Amino acid sequence: MNYFNTMITGWILVFGAFILLGNDICAQTAMANIQSRKLTSLNGEWRALIDPSNTGEYLQVWVGKKPVKKTDFYEYSFEEASVLNVPGDFNSQMSELTYFEGTVWYKKQFNYLIAEGKRLFLHFGAVNYLADVYLNGEKIGSHEGGFIPFQFEITDKIKDGDNTVIVKVNNNRKGNGLPGYGYDWFNYGGITRDVDLIETDNTFIEDYFIQLKKGSLTTVLGWVKMNGAGEKQDIEIEVPELNLRYKAITDDEGFAHVEFESEFELWSPENPRLYSVTVKSDTDFLVDTIGFRSIEVQGNQILLNRKPIFLKAVNIHEENPHRMNRAYSSEDAKLLLNSAKELGCNLVRLAHYPHSENMVKEAERLGIMVWDELPVYQHIQFSDSLMPAKLEQMLQEMVGRDKNRCGVVVWALSNETYPSTPNRNDRLIELTQKCRSLDSARLITHVVNTQSYENHTVNVWDSLYIHSDIVALNEYFGWYLPWQGKPSDTKWNISFPDKPVFISEFGGEAVYGNSDGPPDEAAYWTEEYQEKIYVDQIEMFNSVPNLVGVCPWLLFDYRSLGRMHSVYQKGYNRKGLISEKGGKKKAWYVMKEYFEGK
Ligand code: GCU
């Protein structure tokens, strides 16, 4: 099967995307580029019922019963209920929800008149973690996964006039979830990103892929996928600035192959060139801004547009450091990304889950490459019977949403999973192959920390690296692991001499402004101790073979409830180079100088 057919097969599996899970209908994979469609926002104030005992199921709160007889009464009502803003996590909006992990019922009423021959979809940017969605008292489906858009078609369920949508949101940790029970970030629950109604024509452009073919600087290879019955459609892709117009006709499945040549001003951090691209069919018309660049591994180097590049990266969690809540807006994205730029970065690792589309688009505009990552984090129940479907769903949702974002250069499919977990290798090798079938135009990797450190020698081997384009490893020498000798004398024994090596995490903790304690003792969280870690790490980097990039953990101090030192942490992971209040620690300056020298 050639590249195109393989990829088509991959995507055909996506877009019939009702996966029946029990008697539940799972959400559809979201259509592409909603910002270019006819949107009605449902953002704003929603009514909310907090339901720690999950009684709402038994009461069937979605029916919205009202007393009729004098003896009627119902032990729930959304009228006069609390108000939660959407988008936004619920933990940061009400003090009684600060540490809440459980069920919150959201309700929104809206008025809609759907035009003849049109279709209507209810689209969620993200809901963490489980969403059960009801429209006018009827369940329309469910979605699992906290970090990616999903949608439901409601054409035949919408009423002319008043409608009520109720969403049961549950952010309890799930043993067979992605992530599982244990993770080192705050479990923000809620409708954390935008909610929109999307009106389309009966037949509309559901999705498209328009990027440079792997290894080429002039050939665009992709496709357009229509949704809806009806005859073949003429497709037209235009890039006005290049005076380019490409025409095709869809096949019986509504697919049109796209392949054309052109000279492009290539996207790069120095010149983040984006083109306005229109995708037209007989019945639909979308506008996107698309960049064209090539990313590939050649030997032990990473090439951007055929030139070796060193990845000056930093890790970022999706948290607004000043508000200390889930980030979601363009403003939040600009705050985080401008801070990464100030540090001298050309790449951000969006740990450990897909961040908002605003983040990915803003990074592209600013010329910052993006490392997009699945929440396949540490303790995952790879043997669970539902795990293969969940892994595939989240992969397709992540790639589906960001595949046209040239700024995204790496798909990272796991972080620090354990070789001892049953089925870990099978599941993750399968996932890697699926990812390649969906998009071979980017680098694919797993982040691993199974290396051993004995006699001042780092021995790197993991079967996941066989299937990865990069040897990405997390190491905390100088913090979790004391040095066994002079950092510059560190020996590296990497079993993949022909692969590029990327240090995806390193660092240590410090409280901003704290110098109270011996500078060589970790237990005081001094800035000096953290600074020394960075000086030593940079000394060691010179001994790492095939080093193509480094990525300190992490940009800002952030909330993580397992960090319980009552003096220094107070529920924060203090490995930030910057405090949550914006204070640059001494280590920030060490890292800044290193990147300047690169
Ligand atoms: C791990 C993990 C991070 C975690 C960090 C730490 O490597 O990938 O998610 O926060 O180490 O311990 O701070």
CA distance 540 to 593: 16
* Predicted pLDDT at 362: 98
pLDDT above 60 for 573: yes
229 pLDDT exceeds 50? yes
* Preceding peptide of 594 cis, ω within 30°: no
Residue 6 has pLDDT above 60, yes or no: no
Cα of 280 vs centre of ligand 1, distance in Å, is: 45
Mean pLDDT calculated for residue range 322-351: 97
Q: What is the mean pLDDT of residues 270-278?
A: 98
Nearest CA to ligand 1 atom 12: 184
Query: With 60 as the cut, is the pLDDT of residue 11 above it?
Result: no
pLDDT, tens only, 129-139: 999 999 999 99
User: What local confidence, expressed as pLDDT, does residue 57 receive?
Assistant: 97
**pLDDT higher than threshold 50 for residue 305:** yes
Identify the CA nearest to 18 among candidates 118, 200, 143, 181: 143
- Whether ligand 1 lies within 6 angstroms of the CB of 415 is answered as yes
- Looking at residues 93-121, what average pLDDT do you find? 97
Nearest alpha carbon, ligand 1 atom 4: 184
| pLDDT at site 1 | 40
Closest CA to 11 of 287, 253, 198: 253
Mean pLDDT of 152-162: 95
Task: Report which ligand 1 atom has the smallest distance to the Cα of 351.
Answer: 9
pLDDT at 486 over 60: yes
- Note the pLDDT of residue 25: 67
Tell me the one-letter amino acid at 332.
Answer: D
Span 516-538, mean pLDDT? 98
* Atom 7 (ligand 1) nearest CA: 474
The residue whose two tokens read 């459980």 is: 102
* Ligand 1, atom nearest to 447 Cα: 8
Atom 6 of ligand 1: nearest residue by CA position:
184
Ligand 1 close to Cβ of residue 575 (< 6 A): yes
pLDDT tens, 355-382?
999 999 999 999 999 999 999 999 999 9
| Cα 574 to ligand 1 centroid, rounded to whole Å | 11
For the chain, give the mean pLDDT: 95
pLDDT at 16: 42
- 509 ligand 1 Cβ < 6 A: no
CA 127 – ligand 1 centroid, Å: 24
pLDDT at 15: 46
Given a cut of 70, is residue 23 above it in pLDDT?
Answer: no
Q: What angle do CA 232, 204, 440 make, to 5 degrees?
A: 85
pLDDT digits (tens, 9 = 90+) for 386-417: 999 999 999 999 999 999 999 999 999 999 99
Peptide bond into 303 cis (omega under 30): no
Stretch (H or E) spanning 391: helix 387-402
User: DSSP letter at 328?
Assistant: -
Residue 561 CB partners (closer than 8 Å, separation 6+):
99, 186, 571
Percent of the residues in the chain that have a pLDDT greater than 70, as a whole number: 95
Say how far apart CA 338 and CA 598 lie, in whole Å: 19
Ligand 1 atom closest to Cα of residue 509: 13
Backbone angles phi, psi at 513, to 5 degrees: 80, 5
Please spell the DSSP secondary structure of 46-106, one letter per residue.
EEEEEETT-HHHHHTGGG-----STT---S---TT-EEEEESS-STTT-GGGTT--SEEEE
Amino acid (1-letter code) at residue 422 = P
Question: Residue 107 belongs to what H/E stretch?
Answer: strand 103-112
**Alpha-carbon span 150 to 327, nearest angstrom:** 19
Decide whether any atom of ligand 1 lies within 6 Å of the 475 Cβ. no
Are the beta carbons of 579 and 557 closer than 8 angstroms? yes
Mean pLDDT check: name the lowest of 117-121, 347-351, 438-442. 438-442
- What residue type is assigned to position 141 of the chain? G
In terms of C-beta density within 10 A (0-12 exposed, 13-18 middle, 19 or more buried), how is residue 57 classed? middle
Q: Domains in the chain, please, with CATH?
A: 8-201 (2.60.120.260), 213-292 (2.60.40.10), 305-597 (3.20.20.80)
Q: How far is the CA of 396 from the centre of ligand 1 (A)?
A: 25
Distance 32 CA to ligand 1 centre (A): 32
Tell me the C-alpha to C-alpha distance, in Å, between residue 303 and each of 23, 268, 369, 442, 474. Answer: 48, 11, 13, 11, 22
Residue (of 96, 125, 105, 101) closest to 174 by Cα position:
101
Return d(Cα 246, Cα 406) in angstroms, integer.
20
Tens digits of per-residue pLDDT, 448-472? 999 999 999 999 999 999 999 999 9
CB 173 within 8 A of CB 181: yes
Q: What is the mean pLDDT of residues 35-49?
A: 98
Task: Answer whether 505 contacts ligand 1 (Cβ < 6 A).
Answer: yes
417 lines ligand 1 (CB under 6 A): no
The answer on pLDDT for 422 being more than 70 is: yes
